[in-house]
Amino acid sequence: MISNPIGVLALSKREIYRFIAVASQTIFPPLISSTLFMFIFGIALGKRIDFGATGFTYLSYIVPGLMTMHLISSSYENTSSSLFISRWHNHIQEILLSPLSYFEMVLGLLAGGVARGMFVCLGVFAVSQFFSQSLIENPFLLIYFILTISVIFSCAGMMSALWAEDFGMLNMWNVYFIVPLVLLGGVFHPVHMLPPLVTIISKFNPMFYLVNGIRYSITGISSVSVLLCAILSGILAIVFFGITVYLFKIGYKLRT
């Protein structure tokens, strides 16, 4: 399936180098905002929130939510900005002229999104240890969810970068679609706390299952079947990856 491993590795290294070179824009902001969220919501307000029935402190409840939120946004932003800028400057031609298969191109571009998402996600967990020390209940499951979620949103970022004609269009999906769904998916609250109708609607929000998957991996507690979360996450990753490879194959907005 991979006939040019050196090529894939070179592209992966370039993508990872790109976000590390601008760490002040890619790594530190989500870590700083997570620290503030944990301090304000977890420490300052969290003590006043009665969370006894869930088996969590409020801080330990929001940490997996924050990890998922930043995993999603970092993966998405990495591939969307990288691919869009390479289309904008037209140095995407470097890749399009190379003997990488379309599968390999997507794999190489994906590496940056996955690496950045994973780095930020685990960074948020590391920061949370300063506020409340906790163990990871299911580390292998956590790796599975981090990988599949980062693949889903790295691919979504690439799709958005191919579709967008300007920076406004590039941000549209994130602002109007991904962020609201993530926040309504239970980052800061159990969905059963919402009005009954909204609780039912939330069950159709895929982010709800992704947040739950990460939360279960860390705490061992979930409000929905973890198997369902894992299957959904895996299927979405495969589907999004397949669509992205297809878009490269037909040259959607890549070839005139």
Partner 1 sequence: MRNSEIAISIKHLTKYYDDFRALDNVSLDVRRGEFFAFLGPNGAGKTTSINVITGLSNHQEGHVKIFGYDTVSEYIQCRKLIGLCAQEFNFDPFLSVRQMLVYQAGYFGISSSIASKRAEELLTRFQLNHKSHVKHRALSGGMKKRLLLCRALIHDPEILILDEPTAGCDLELKYLIWDYLKQLNNEGKTIFLTTHYMEEAERLCKTIGIINHGRIIKRGVKKDILQDRSLERVFLEVTGLE
Closest separation between CB of residue 17 and partner 1, Å?
Answer: 7
**The binder of partner 1 chosen from 93, 129, 199, 225 (CB under 8 A):** 93
CA-wise closest residue to 85 among 158, 24, 149, 150: 158
CA-CA distance, 236 to 39, in Å (whole number)?
33
Q: Which is nearer to partner 1, 99 or 195 (CB)?
A: 99
Distance, in Å, from the CA atom of 70 to the CA atom of 168, rounded to the nearest integer, reads 21
If one asks whether residue 227 binds partner 1 (CB under 8 A), the answer comes out as: no
| 238 in contact with partner 1 (CB under 8 A) | no
- What's the burial of 52, exposed, middle or buried (CB within 10 Å: 0-12/13-18/19+)? exposed
Smallest gap from residue 108 Cβ to partner 1 (A): 8
Residues 48-87 touching partner 1, rule: CB under 8 A, are 85-86
* Contact status: 199 vs partner 1 (CB under 8 A): no
Q: What share of the chain is helix, strand, coil (3-state, %, to 5)?
A: 80, 0, 20
Residue 21 touches partner 1, criterion: CB under 8 A: yes
Residue among 16 and 38 whose Cβ is closer to partner 1: 16
- Give the torsion sign (CA, 209, 210, 212, 216): positive
Instruction: Give the shortest CB-70-to-partner 1 separation in angstroms.
Output: 22
Residue 25 near partner 1 by CB under 8 A: no
Is residue 246 near partner 1 by the rule CB under 8 A?
no
Q: Give least dist CB 253 to partner 1, A.
A: 12
Span 94-153, contacts to partner 1 by CB under 8 A: 94-101
Structure tokens at 119: 């780095």
Q: Is 197 in the site for partner 1 (CB under 8 A)?
A: no
Angle formed by the axes of helices 28-37 and 58-88, to 10°?
Answer: 160
Selected from 1, 50, 90, 196, the binder of partner 1 by CB under 8 A is: 90
Q: How far is the CB of 156 from partner 1 (least distance, A)?
A: 22
Radius of gyration of the chain (CA): 19
SS (H, E, C) 83-131: HHHHHHCCCCHHHHCCCCCHHHHHHHHHHHHHHHHHHHHHHHHHHHCCC
Label residue 135 exposed, middle or buried (CB < 10 Å: 0-12, 13-18, 19+): exposed
How far is Cα 98 from Cα 246, in angstroms, rounded to an integer? 18
Nearer to partner 1, 85 or 122 (CB): 85
- Which member of 47, 91, 192, 203 binds partner 1 (CB under 8 A)? 91
Which residues in this chain contact partner 1 in the complex, by CB under 8 A?
Answer: 3-4, 6-7, 9-11, 13-14, 17-18, 21-22, 85-86, 89-91, 93-101, 251, 255-256
